[in-house]
Structure 1
Amino acid sequence: MKRIIFFLQLLWFVPVSAQDPFRAYLSSVPEIVSVIGDTLTGEGAEAIVTRKITFTSRNGANTVYAVMAFPAREGKYPGMLFLHGGGSRAEDMLGRVQDYARRGYVALAPDLPGICGNGKTPHSTGPWKSRPNGEAPRFDLANGPESSTLADAIVAGLEAFNLLRSRPDVDVKHMGITGFSWGGYSTTMLTGLLGNKVQAAYSVFGSGFYDLGSFWKEIIAQLPEADRKTWLQYFDAGRRAKNIKAPFFMEAASNDTYFWPEAVMATLGRIKGEKNLVWGPNINHKQIPGGGKMQELYFDYYLKGKGQPFGKVEAKPGKKHVTITVRMPKGITVDSVMLYCAAPSADWQHKKWTAVPAQKSGKKYVAEIPAGSDHWFAYVGDSRGVALASLMHGPELLLPVK
Structure 2
Amino acid sequence: MITRLASLVALGWFCGQAVADAADGGGTIEQVGGDRRVRTPAYEAVVAEDGCLTSFRVGGDEFILCGASGVRGAYLYQNGVLRLPNIETVGADAITASSEKASERFDFTPTGVTWTATNHTAEKMLYVLVFDMAVNVMNSKGTWEQAPVTTGCGDTNWFRGAKRLCIRNGTRVWGPFAQKYQVWEASLAPNETRKVVFEPGAATAEELAQAAAIAAYVPEPPTDPVGPMWDMTELSKAPATYPADGFDVADGARPVFYDGVPYKGRPTRVFAWIGLPKMEPGQKVPGMVLVHGGGGTAFASWVKVWTDRGYAAISMDTCGCVPKGTYANWDRHQWGGPAGWGGWGQINWARTDQWTYHAVAAAALGHSLLRSLPEVDPDRIGLTGISWGGYLTCIIAGVDHRYKFAVPVYGCGFTNEHNFAGSVKGLGEEGAARWMRWWDPSVYLKDVSYPTLWVTGTNDFAYTFPALQRSYRLPQAPQALCVRVRMPHGHGPAGEGPMEIAAFADSFLKGGAPLACVTGQGRDGSQAWVTFESSRPIVKAELTYTKASGPWKDRLWETLPAELDAAGKRVTGTLPEGTTVYYINLFDDRDLAVSSEHEELPVAKAEPVK
Give the TM-score normalised by the residue count of structure 2. 0.55
Whether 1:166 and 2:372 are equivalent positions in the alignment is: yes
Aligned residue among 335, 341, 352 for 2:545 = 341
Written as runs of structure 1 = structure 2, the 5 A alignment for 1:165-204 is 165-195=371-401, 197-204=402-409
Does the CA-based 8 Å contact 2:321-2:331 persist in structure 1?
Answer: no
Q: CA deviation at 1:143?
A: 2.5
CA distance in structure 1 between the partners assigned to 2:356 and 2:427 by the alignment? 16
CA contact (8 A) 1:54 1:123 kept: no
Equivalent pair of 1:341/1:374 in contact (CA under 8 Å): yes
Whether contact under 8 Å (1:84, 1:111) holds in the other structure is yes
Aligned match of 1:369 in 536, 551, 575? 575
2:363 maps to 157
Q: Please identify, of 66-75 and 381-390, the stretch whose mean Cα deviation from structure 2 is larger.
A: 66-75
Query: Which residue of structure 1 aligns with residue 294 of structure 2?
Result: 86
Query: 1:146-168: per-residue Cα shift (whole Å, max 9, x none)?
Result: 34322222211111111112222
| 8 A Cα contact 1:176 1:200, kept in partner | yes
State the shift of 1:103 in Å. Answer: 2.9
Post-superposition Cα deviations, 1:346-389, rounded to whole Å, max 9, x if no partner, equal 20011111112112357222211111111110011110121110
The 1:173–1:290 alpha-carbon spacing in structure 2 relative to 1, beyond 3 Å, is closer
- Alignment match, 1:256: 460
Q: Following the alignment from structure 2 to structure 1, what is the Cα–Cα distance between the partners of residues 335 and 267? A: 9
- The answer to whether the aligner puts 1:30 opposite 2:225 as a matched pair is no
Q: Distance in 1 between matches of 2:562 and 2:444?
A: 36
In structure 1, what is the Cα distance between the partners aligned to 2:378 and 2:434?
33
Q: Secondary structure at the match of 2:338?
A: helix
For the pair 1:316 / 2:316, whether they are aligned, the reply is no
Secondary structure (helix, strand or coil) at the match of 2:599 reads coil
Q: CA deviation at 1:245?
A: 1.3
Distance across 1 between alignment mates of 2:495 and 2:230: 35
- Larger mean Cα displacement after TM superposition, 221-230 or 317-326: 221-230
**For residues 115 and 154 of structure 1, what CA distance do their matches in structure 2 show?**
15
2:346 paired residue number: 140
**Structure 1 residues 79, 126: CA separation in 2 closer, same or farther (over 3 Å shift)?**
same
Distance across 2 between alignment mates of 1:290 and 1:113:
20
CA contact (8 A) 2:321 2:333 kept: no
- State whether structure 2 residue 555 is matched by structure 1 residue 351: yes
Query: Aligned partners of 1:284 and 1:141: how far apart in 2?
Result: 31
Measure, in 2, the Cα distance between the counterparts of 1:344 and 1:78: 44
Determine the structure 2 residue equivalent to 1:11: none
SS in 2 for 1:96: helix
Matches within 5 A, 1:1-400: 17-18=225-226, 20-23=228-231, 25-36=234-245, 39=249, 50-59=253-262, 61-71=267-277, 73=279, 74=281, 75-90=283-298, 93-113=299-319, 119-123=329-333, 125-128=335-338, 137-138=343-344, 140-195=346-401, 197-212=402-417, 214-285=418-489, 291-305=497-511, 307-313=512-518, 314-329=520-535, 332-360=536-564, 363=568, 364-394=570-600
**Distance change (3 Å), C-alpha of 1:115 and 1:149:** farther
* Higher gyration radius (CA): 2
**Aligned-residue CA RMSD in angstroms?**
2.7
Counterpart residue type for residue 374 of structure 1:
T
Q: Secondary structure at the match of 1:128?
A: coil
Distance 1:223 1:114 in 2: 23
Distance 1:114 1:87, change over 3 A: farther
Instruction: State the shift of 1:284 in Å.
Output: 4.7
Q: Tell me how far 1:278 sits from its aligned partner.
A: 1.3
Alpha-carbon distance between aligned partners in 2 of 1:134 and 1:72, rounded to the nearest angstrom? 35
Change (3 A) 1:395 1:271: farther
Seen in structure 2, the aligned counterparts of structure 1 residues 244 and 205 have a Cα distance that, compared at 3 Å, is same
Superposed displacement of residue 288, structure 1: 6.3
Q: What letter matches 1:219 in structure 2?
A: S
What whole-Å deviation, never above 9, does each CA across 1:136-194 have from its counterpart, x for those lacking one? x3452112423432222221111111111222222111111111111111111111110
**Aligned CA distance change for structure 1 residues 323 and 275 (closer, same or farther; 3 Å):** same
Distance 1:98 1:291 in 2: 12
Judged with a 3 Å threshold, the aligned counterparts in structure 2 of structure 1 residues 72 and 254 are, in CA distance, closer, same or farther, namely: closer
Superposed CA deviations along residues 309-335 of structure 1, whole A, max 9, x for unmatched, are: 111234311123112223211xx1112
Give the whole-Å Cα distance in 1 for the aligned partners of 2:259 and 2:495: 37
Amino acid corresponding to residue 200 of structure 1 in structure 2: F
More RCO (CA 8 Å, sep 6+): 1
C-alpha separation in 1, matches of 2:497 and 2:522 = 26
Choose between structure 1 and 2: higher helix proportion. Answer: 1
What is the distance in 1 between the residues matched to 2:496 and 2:436? 34
Question: Percent same amino acid at aligned positions?
Answer: 23
Name structure 1 gaps, 5 residues minimum.
1-15, 42-48, 397-402
- Residue equivalent to 1:400: none
Which secondary structure does the structure 1 equivalent of 2:416 belong to? coil
For the 8 Å contact 2:579–2:601, the answer to whether it is kept is no
In 2 relative to 1, CA 206–289 (structure 1 residues): closer, same or farther, beyond 3 Å? closer
Aligned length: 363
Q: Give the letter aligned to residue 81 of structure 1.
A: V
The residue type paired with residue 405 of structure 2 is A
Counterpart of 1:322, as a letter, is: A
Give the aligned residue type for 2:359.
A
The offset of 1:238, in angstroms, is: 2.4
Cα distance, 1:103–1:315 mapped onto 2, change above 3 Å: same
| 8 Å Cα contact 1:358/1:366 also seen in 2 | yes
Instruction: Please say if residues 284 and 375 of structure 2, whose CA atoms lie closer than 8 Å, have aligned partners that are also in contact.
Output: yes
How far apart in 1 are the matches of 2:341 and 2:397?
Answer: 25
Query: Equivalents in 1 of 2:383, 2:229: separation in Å?
Result: 21
**Structure 1 162/115 Cα, relative in aligned 2: closer, same or farther at 3 Å?**
same
Q: Any idea what the Cα deviations from partners look like across 1:28-58, whole Å, max 9, x if unmatched?
A: 43211225466498xxxxxxx5211111211
Counterpart contact for 1:252–1:264, Cα < 8 Å: no
